[in-house]
Amino acid sequence: MRILIAEDDELIADALTRALKRAGYAVDHAATGTEADAALASQPYDLLVLDLGLPRMSGIEVLQRLRNRKSTCPVLILTARDAVQDRVTGLDAGADDYLTKPFALPELEARVRALTRRGTGQGRVVTLGALHYDQADRSVTVDGHLLDLSAREAGVLEVLLLRAGRLVSKEHLVDHLCGWGEEVSLNAIEVYVHRLRKKLETSGLRITTVRGLGYCLEKPDAVSGL
């Protein structure tokens, strides 16, 4: 999943970026409101962490412009403004959650997990056949046995799992795995998918390739019906 952090405090932005990357997210950072607005207009995100006191364009205006584009991207406001009216204004403008600074990092990470789950329309644990994927700790089990997946493999599986039965392009996988300044080649995606196929052999699930278009994680009933 890909997150945009709109925060002008470099220390806070750096700490958030490092923490969320460790948790397995792809993270981009915008230091101004105009940068955040441009990023949101050009790239789909699974979550926006938004400071209200941004230079060049306020956080509220960024949020309003996002909602005016009919985007349903979950938004967590992260700000030093703790007055009740500020909370009301932010939530009324379309934010999904509101957290004030200073904050505890574990609480922010828990709110991020809750909002990204809500954005996918899934519960904490996503189940497909014998496979269970826990979005909180990104663990994968098949018939109760934990699969040993790298962070990249888990990321690819997450995207495919949340779109099970639908075609997912390689470019879409790259977009959801990488933040700005990071590179994952299309050939690397092929390697991750190849490894996943081997590790999912006992699950009854199958990742099919549609040449030139992408991949599809087939549901158990589709596989058994062949």
Q: Mind listing the pLDDT tens digit for each residue in 85-97?
A: 999 999 999 999 9
Residues 185, 191, 195: CA angle, nearest 5 degrees: 150
Question: Quick one: 89 and 139 in the same domain?
Answer: no
Q: What is d(CA 57, CA 61) in angstroms, rounded to the nearest whole number?
A: 6
Q: pTM of the entire structure?
A: 0.68
Question: Quick one: 114 and 145 in the same domain?
Answer: no
In the chain, what percentage of residues exceed pLDDT 90? Answer: 54
φ, ψ dihedrals at 25, nearest 5°: -90, 150
Counting runs of H as helices and runs of E as strands, what totals does the chain give?
9, 11
What's the token pair of residue 105?
Answer: 């990092």
Question: Quick one: 7 and 114 in the same domain?
Answer: yes
Question: Quick one: 163 and 63 in the same domain?
Answer: no
Q: Mind listing the pLDDT tens digit for each residue in 167-188?
A: 999 888 888 777 665 667 788 8
CATH of the domain at 194: 1.10.10.10
Q: Mind listing the pLDDT tens digit for each residue in 19-45?
A: 998 887 889 999 999 999 999 999 889
Confidence of residue 108 (pLDDT cuts 50, 70, 90): very high
pLDDT computed for residue 40 by the predictor: 96
Residue range(s) defining the domain that contains residue 81: 2-120
Number of structural domains in the chain: 2
Question: Quick one: 67 and 46 in the same domain?
Answer: yes
Question: Quick one: 138 and 49 in the same domain?
Answer: no
From 62, 95, 120, the end of a domain falls on: 120
Q: Mind listing the pLDDT tens digit for each residue in 41-70?
A: 998 899 999 999 999 999 999 999 999 999
Q: What is d(CA 159, CA 76) in angstroms, rounded to the nearest whole number?
A: 22
Confidence of residue 226 (pLDDT cuts 50, 70, 90): very low
Question: Quick one: 174 and 216 in the same domain?
Answer: yes
